Structure 1
Amino acid sequence: MLTLQFSAQDLARTRFGHSPLWEVVTSVEALKDPGGKPLHLGWARETRAALPAVDLSLLFALVPIPTLYVPSFLTPVPQTESPSLEQELAVLTATPAETVRADLALLDGPLPAPLVALHRDPAGELARLADQVLAYWEVALRPHWSRIRRLVEGEILYRARSIAHGGAAELFAELHPQVSWSDDTLRVRHRYYEATRTLDGGRGLVLVPTVFVWPGVFSQSTPPRQPGLVYPPRGIATLWERPRDRAPDALAALLGRSRAGLLAELDSPASTTELAARTGMPAPTVSHHLTTLRAAGLAVSHRTGRTVLYLRTPLGEALLAGGATP
């Protein structure tokens, strides 16, 4: 178990970030061990068939199965809310040689040939690693990035509402089954890792929702690196497969089949365009129904950049559940 002790300043500086490089690393794990991440099995089959005939040996060697440890230089906590992959690769390729070698020394057993070369020539091999990450990204993640990004943006919106409603206690209480919070202390149940850390210096914790980390969590807490917690976003089950009609018949009779169906889809935040694609309804029709649901207090909207995301309210949750008190 990892135990992280917070100060008031640490809580004040806790924030969210989304890392394309973390998605790359955790998706490689899902690709190499699809049985351990069955939610992504369809994606793994499609990606494996589409991967180009290029050398990905260094990237794949850095993500062993079982994945007990990934060298930390490959999994930096995002320095901003939403860095681009190119920005993260710039940080990666600038990693000092001594840091690369120190991280590789934490791997169990003898190093495979690609990592021996990395240990011998960190600067040259990091540049090669960046090229491999980009080649992998183009096939494995870029075609799905808008979907992944919308799910993560919705997760951050939902958690922001949790903080506004119940503070850090509510945020961490619902974050993940392996995560718990009490007495200014965050506990993360890791099977093979145990440590107690004090978040000194008021650096806070960066929460990094990542779709391919499902069903587990990863953490980074070894000084002097920025502490981070990587966890799957809420609504992850909707990422690849979305049932078209999940509204109860009684609710459909009350609201109409289309509005009830849209309310059922809003278990995670979604845009008008995404809802139109899911349901097959024209976007103007979806927009009209969402306006009605919002006016009735069953949904709320929030602008993220150029996108407006919709989410069920507690009243909408209760109505969908069958009339329980919100």
Structure 2
Amino acid sequence: MLRVCFTAEDLLRVRFADEPAPMVELMLAVATLQRSEAVFGLWRRRMGRALTRSAGPLLELVPATGKGPLFLDPPIPGFDAGLEHVLSTPTALVRSELHRVHARDRAPSPWTRLLADRDRDSWQNLEHALRTAHTHIVAAPWERIRAGFDAERAWRTHLLAGQGIHAMLTGLAPTARWRETTLEFDSTDDVEVSLDGTGITVLPSVYWTGRPLVGRYAQGWFLVYPAVTPLPDIDDPTSTDTLAMLLGRTRATILEQLLRPRTGSDLVRDLGLAKSSVSEHTKALRAARLITAQRDGKAIWHSCTPLGLELLACLPESRGKPA
């Protein structure tokens, strides 16, 4: 269980990041390379081939859990500024973070030991790996990353204004819940974080589909969570269809179809989608609390939740025609 303890002062200091953080997206993408989510299957095969040699060292540092060394993913705008921050990390912090990661996820390799000793060649290899991985993983799809972030931020800001901070934060993960002033997330770890009046910054990632992550950086506490729509499902960033930018074209179309209850078979027939595709997309919409599912005999009926109806109502002018 991950527990984040808020004071009244913390709740007043919850902020949403102004823009995506390239180093955070980069490190979570490296973690995703080692995971098995179907939505990233094609991307993983393509990136795996491109990065195995040039950026392979990053796989020694960042585990599939996404809980790599905090000095590698400063949550600040701009890759150049982030890279400079990484390369200037104090040696004591490098050693403590590498020790933390190695103690829980993997044994240190000779290369990571050299990093801890501040070996010049090892740090040059790290810089080369970061630059190469950034070119392929972040720079190339940056417009789509930014468009997905902007749509996500607009939706969460709308929830904050309409339903308050408690509702906005519990909407970040399907298992999130409040116990008095403590926000709980299901986790394989048993961790309690006390913000102690400093507040926290909320940062979505289009490369992450796992549980929310909380870390304390020089910039303060950050809560990183998976955006509603992962990168492979983000549409053309030039689109004016805000709903499709937030959910992806297919999920936006499904949500519109569920203004009245429909079965999975109805969606397969009417939208011309494979049964497996409908199942994947409705699962994602349920996780975002936008639809519900109820079994009636052999049929499963899907319908919009009040939150889903609110999303459709707040973006009427931006929806395009379903594909």
TM-score (norm 1): 0.67
AA matched with 1:64: P
Cα distance in 2 between the residues matched to 1:49 and 1:57: 10
5 Å-filtered alignment, 1:133-212, equals 133-191=130-188, 193-200=189-196, 202-212=197-207
Cα distance in 2 between the residues matched to 1:132 and 1:229: 26
Q: Secondary structure at the match of 1:227?
A: strand
Alpha-carbon contact 2:205-2:224 (below 8 Å) kept: yes
AA matched with 1:42: L
Cα distance in 2 between the residues matched to 1:188 and 1:32: 23
Q: Secondary structure at the match of 1:130?
A: helix
Flag the 1:51–1:57 CA change in 2: closer, same or farther, 3 A: closer
Cα distance in 1 between the residues matched to 2:52 and 2:57: 15
The aligned residue for residue 90 of structure 1 is 84
Displacement of 1:60 in angstroms is: 1.7
AA matched with 1:194: D
Flag the 1:187–1:122 CA change in 2: closer, same or farther, 3 A: farther
Alpha-carbon contact 2:208-2:227 (below 8 Å) kept: no
Cα distance in 2 between the residues matched to 1:230 and 1:97: 25
Q: Secondary structure at the match of 2:108?
A: coil
Flag the 1:118–1:3 CA change in 2: closer, same or farther, 3 A: same
Point out 4+ residue stretches in structure 1 off by more than 6 angstroms. Answer: none
| Identity percentage of aligned residues | 25
The aligned residue for residue 58 of structure 1 is 57
The aligned residue for residue 24 of structure 1 is 26
Flag the 1:152–1:160 CA change in 2: closer, same or farther, 3 A: same
Q: Secondary structure at the match of 2:140?
A: helix
Displacement of 1:52 in angstroms is: 8.0
The aligned residue for residue 218 of structure 1 is 213
Q: Secondary structure at the match of 2:158?
A: helix
Structure 2 gap segments, 5+ residues each: 236-247, 261-270, 272-283, 286-308, 318-323
Cα distance in 2 between the residues matched to 1:123 and 1:198: 37
Q: Secondary structure at the match of 1:213?
A: coil
Cα distance in 2 between the residues matched to 1:218 and 1:134: 24
* Residue 12 (str. 1) matches residue 12 (str. 2): yes
Alpha-carbon contact 2:206-2:229 (below 8 Å) kept: no
Cα distance in 1 between the residues matched to 2:257 and 2:187: 39
Alpha-carbon contact 1:97-1:122 (below 8 Å) kept: no
TM-score (norm 2): 0.68
AA matched with 2:128: D
Q: Secondary structure at the match of 2:149?
A: helix
Displacement of 1:224 in angstroms is: 7.4
Alpha-carbon contact 2:31-2:66 (below 8 Å) kept: no
Cα distance in 1 between the residues matched to 2:33 and 2:23: 15
Displacement of 1:153 in angstroms is: 1.0
Question: How many residues matched?
Answer: 252
